Amino acid sequence: MRMLAIYTDAASSGNPGPTGISFVIKQNGHFIEYYKYIGDAVSNHDGEFYALMSALDYCKEHFPNDILSIRSDSKLVVDAVNRQYVKQDHFRHLLEMVLTKMDPFPHCFIKWIPEKQNSHADRLAKKALLTKSELISQSPSV
């Protein structure tokens, strides 16, 4: 069992507006990068939830027995997951989906980080937004 550091982010042009999401998985100097354009009428907060869910889906397929240390610069998402509660009904379904996706992992936690510590994922989310495309890449031996 190993610990993976996972960084997630979303970038929107307008709110709602065109939105890209991303995640970066780091482990022992190796990394996986992912970004995807998710639509023309998505709020940035929704995008942050979708970025987290995409990372969890990927980890479930490729790293189901590992410890996930997730970092996000979205206070709304981090607080919602840690409290397992959202005030706005609109986010309740997204939170429930995230919690369900986190449940199978032996240990999975999320922490808020400042935007400047999330620049790699931010750059990828903006790239998805600008190119309206999807890409996953991996350095050797993650």
pLDDT higher than 60, residue 142: no
What is the average per-residue pLDDT within 124-136? 95
Which among 12, 9, 20 is positioned nearest to 116, based on CA atoms? 9
Which among 130, 127, 132 is positioned nearest to 33, based on CA atoms? 127
First and final C-alpha spacing in the chain: 13
Q: What percent of the chain has pLDDT over 70?
A: 98
Q: Which residues sit opposite 137 in a β-bridge? A: 33
What is the average per-residue pLDDT within 88-93? 94
CA 68 remoteness from chain centre = 12
The structural domains of the chain, ordered by start, are 3-138 (3.30.420.10)
Query: What is the model's pTM?
Result: 0.95
Which among 49, 76, 59, 60 is positioned nearest to 24, based on CA atoms? 59
Residue 139: pLDDT band with limits 50, 70, 90: confident
Give the C-alpha separation, 127 to 102, whole Å: 27
Give the per-residue pLDDT at 1.
84
Which carries the bigger pLDDT value, residue 115 or residue 140?
115
Asked if omega into 16 is within 30° of 0 (cis), the reply is yes
